[in-house]
Structure 1
Amino acid sequence: METSRLQRGSDFAGLSRRIAQAGLLERRPGYYAVRIGLVAGLFGGSWALFAAVGDSWWQIPVAVLLAVAFAQVTLLAHDLAHGQISRSRRRSRIAGLLVGNLAVGLSYGWWMDKHTRHHANPNHEDHDPDVSPDVLIWSHKQAEAARGLPRLIGRRQAFLFFPLLTLEGVNLKVSSFRALRRPSLKARMAEGLLLSAHVLIYLGALFLVLPPGMALVFLAVHQACYGVYLGCTFAPNHKGMPVLSAQDELDFLRRQVLTSRNVSGGRLVNVALGGLNYQIEHHLFPSMPSANLRRAQPIVRDYCRSLGVEYVECGLFASWGQALRHLHEVGRPLRR
């Protein structure tokens, strides 16, 4: 038993050596220079188009375009948080505050802490904040303990999943402001000032250019599309995969691989999901630049197969289907 455990514990070390020898952990400054330029152009161009269209219901397609821009900026903040763009924590944090707090109204410090805990224990019902039963239920154990709103929604949560995602953009902003009350949040003053500046500039632009009614419609469409985009980006990666509990003792490699799912679909899916479609590789090597994940995939996949570790990959729509079936299944006790 002890020998087997030692062999399992060394499995990731063997994979890590192969990845390092392939040079896949090296920075990609050229790639990120181009990507940051394109995302900045999309973000700035969307706001310029908003100003040019003015008082018109043609602003609705602009709201959708701006939601795509916000999501792509958020994906850049994700890469900053993992140290993929710069090795300097200070530079990454400053850029993250500007990109997250000021540009899209998402607390960089709060989200980074939450996402770090997710990476440490993905899909663990006790330790992963992404599967905590705040509104949705992710395991039968959570269903049995559910009370209040989660119990009410849990009965039909698979059908309510996408409608609830329309509120995710607003939920992230509310959670960001609530996090300012935590003494553990670093640079609370800077975070609060930048979040407040985002809200004032954002709402000021909407109500300065548009009549009140149209501004509210623009806000609703923009935030709803932003929430759905983010949900459709992150949900395929883990939802519907095994949910771990205190009884599950897995080494690092198996904990990351068995709870993650890759999404196939080519270059378009890769751009749309910001490289997170290679979720298995990303969870094994969080600091790996997203441009290298595609090259790491065959190495990781073959290595997992040699160990007999299941490596899951499917299309985008199939991944959503698996997530919805899982939500429906774990909500079954509440429908009895």
Structure 2
Amino acid sequence: MRTRVFYAFVGTALALGFAGCITGFVMLGDSWFQLLIAAALGILFTQVAFLAHEANHRQIFSSGPANDRLALWIGNGIVGMSQSWWASKHTRHHANPNRVGKDPDIEIDTISFLDEDAVKARGIQRWITQRQGWLFFPLLTLEGLNLHVLAIRHLLSRGEVKGRWTELGLIAVRFAVFVAPVFIFLPLGMAFAFLGVQLAVFGVYMGASFAPNHKGMAVIAPGAKLDFFSKQVRTSRNISGGWWATWLMGGLNYQIEHHLFPNMPRPHLSRAREIVIEHCTTLNVPYVETTLLQSYGIVIAYLNRVGLAARDPFECPLTSAARRV
């Protein structure tokens, strides 16, 4: 009952939020105050992404198929992400968090999370890697666009994708309902600014909610042997703050409990925390919990430390250039 009431409240709050944004969009018309609506939509889309994440973990309904349908409808149809891509990637992450060669979340993208990836960086990638800690949050402004591109690339790939056309259809409907009206009713420059602000807020909010959970925690070597409990706890970090952090981060502040009990609904994670802490004390397994700002400091410091691998203080610039030819 508590779970149903909680998610009904969240769904109602989000529906009212979107209704308010639509009303504001219509009333403001040709005004640069529309960028405030765009920022609000970036926040709302992220909150819906949290719900899609929970539905993928089958936390919301007792029926598996009902959770899958909800994740599909709101993940593709509202957020604009591919749920088949996300579910595959996220399942591999949960099975092997921070394990080299198995966790897709620490594979090189724009950011290098491992020394061996940082040292391979060349050109503009090398320049970014050398400064990646400080550039992390600015780069997140592009993550929203990146998530949409990854979704389309996955759904148009040659490999087998279950429900490919359903997912593409939902994303097309989202484009018609959300993106098209922005360009129809706003001047072209303002429309691009609107979309840019929405994507930037969405990307920063998503990245700022997921990054504190594992980055800077223990990295597991490919052949290392760890039991399930130790593997999940040692690679995860909780964020303190109680109810406000739970709302802000969609329950991801209880990352340790989420990894130990991935099907546990958000309202119950705080109670599980007390049991997990006691068990960690008994087994002498470190239980890491920091404030949100401290976690960001840890992430930035960790990325800068990894980025040092892309620097060679004894390297001659001419030699470096010749090597890349």
What's the CA shift string for 1:20-76, capped at 9, x where partnerless?
A: xxxxxx982121111111122222322222222211111111111111111100000
Matches within 5 A, 1:204-215: 204-215=180-191
User: Are 1:325 and 2:325 an aligned pair?
Assistant: no
Q: Which residue of the partner structure matches residue 315 of structure 2?
A: none
Q: CA offset at residue 147 of structure 1?
A: 4.6
8 Å Cα contact 2:58-2:68 kept in structure 1: no
User: Are 1:46 and 2:21 an aligned pair?
Assistant: yes
Q: CA offset at residue 100 of structure 1?
A: 0.8
Q: Which residue of the partner structure matches residue 287 of structure 2?
A: 311
Matches within 5 A, 1:46-85: 46-85=21-60
Q: Following the alignment from structure 1 to structure 2, what is the Cα–Cα distance between the partners of residues 190 and 157? A: 37
Q: Which residue of the partner structure matches residue 104 of structure 2?
A: 129
Which of 75, 83, 94 does residue 119 from structure 1 map onto? 94
SS at structure 2 position matched to 1:70: helix
Q: CA offset at residue 79 of structure 1?
A: 0.5
8 Å Cα contact 2:59-2:67 kept in structure 1: no
Q: Following the alignment from structure 1 to structure 2, what is the Cα–Cα distance between the partners of residues 184 and 80? A: 23
- Structure 2 runs not aligned, ≥5 long: 313-325
User: Are 1:191 and 2:148 an aligned pair?
Assistant: no
Q: Following the alignment from structure 1 to structure 2, what is the Cα–Cα distance between the partners of residues 292 and 45? A: 30
Q: Following the alignment from structure 1 to structure 2, what is the Cα–Cα distance between the partners of residues 191 and 147? A: 36
8 Å Cα contact 2:59-2:265 kept in structure 1: yes
SS at structure 2 position matched to 1:28: helix
What's the CA shift string for 1:217-275, capped at 9, x where partnerless?
A: 11111110110000110011011111112132111111100000000123222101011
- Structure 1 runs not aligned, ≥5 long: 1-25
Matches within 5 A, 1:110-189: 110-147=85-122, 150-180=125-155, 181-189=157-165
SS at structure 1 position matched to 2:160: coil
Which of 77, 89, 105 does residue 80 from structure 2 map onto? 105
Q: Following the alignment from structure 1 to structure 2, what is the Cα–Cα distance between the partners of residues 46 and 109? A: 29
Q: Following the alignment from structure 2 to structure 1, what is the Cα–Cα distance between the partners of residues 283 and 158? A: 43
Q: Which residue of the partner structure matches residue 93 of structure 1?
A: 68
Letter in 1 for 2:203: G
8 Å Cα contact 1:32-1:85 kept in structure 2: yes
8 Å Cα contact 1:169-1:223 kept in structure 2: yes
Describe the shift of the 1:149–1:124 C-alpha distance in structure 2 as closer, same or farther (beyond 3 A): farther
Give TM-score, length-normalised by structure 1.
0.89
Matches within 5 A, 1:254-333: 254-333=230-309
Q: Following the alignment from structure 1 to structure 2, what is the Cα–Cα distance between the partners of residues 149 and 81? A: 36
Describe the shift of the 1:48–1:125 C-alpha distance in structure 2 as closer, same or farther (beyond 3 A): farther
8 Å Cα contact 1:125-1:138 kept in structure 2: no
Q: Give the % identical residues.
A: 46
Letter in 2 for 1:53: L
SS at structure 2 position matched to 1:126: coil
Q: CA offset at residue 80 of structure 1?
A: 0.3
Q: Following the alignment from structure 1 to structure 2, what is the Cα–Cα distance between the partners of residues 214 and 143? A: 38
Give TM-score, length-normalised by structure 2.
0.92
Query: Number of residue pairs matched?
Result: 311
8 Å Cα contact 2:120-2:310 kept in structure 1: no
User: Are 1:28 and 2:3 an aligned pair?
Assistant: yes
Q: Following the alignment from structure 2 to structure 1, what is the Cα–Cα distance between the partners of residues 95 and 26? A: 43
Q: Following the alignment from structure 1 to structure 2, what is the Cα–Cα distance between the partners of residues 155 and 129? A: 22
8 Å Cα contact 1:27-1:84 kept in structure 2: no
Q: Following the alignment from structure 1 to structure 2, what is the Cα–Cα distance between the partners of residues 189 and 41? A: 30
Q: CA offset at residue 204 of structure 1?
A: 1.1
Letter in 2 for 1:30: V
> Once superposed, which parts of structure 1, at least 4 consecutive aligned residues long, lie more than 6 Å away?
none
8 Å Cα contact 1:46-1:69 kept in structure 2: no
SS at structure 1 position matched to 2:253: coil
SS at structure 1 position matched to 2:220: coil
SS at structure 2 position matched to 1:278: helix
Letter in 2 for 1:173: H
What's the CA shift string for 1:69-119, capped at 9, x where partnerless?
A: 111000000000000001322212221121011111111111111111111
Question: Alignment RMSD, CA only?
Answer: 1.5
Letter in 2 for 1:66: L
Describe the shift of the 1:335–1:65 C-alpha distance in structure 2 as closer, same or farther (beyond 3 A): same
Q: Following the alignment from structure 1 to structure 2, what is the Cα–Cα distance between the partners of residues 182 and 65? A: 36
Q: Following the alignment from structure 1 to structure 2, what is the Cα–Cα distance between the partners of residues 221 and 212? A: 14
Letter in 1 for 2:196: A
SS at structure 1 position matched to 2:225: coil
| Larger mean Cα displacement after TM superposition, 182-191 or 221-230 | 182-191
Which of 190, 194, 203 does residue 227 from structure 1 map onto? 203
8 Å Cα contact 1:27-1:289 kept in structure 2: no
Q: Following the alignment from structure 1 to structure 2, what is the Cα–Cα distance between the partners of residues 43 and 294? A: 28
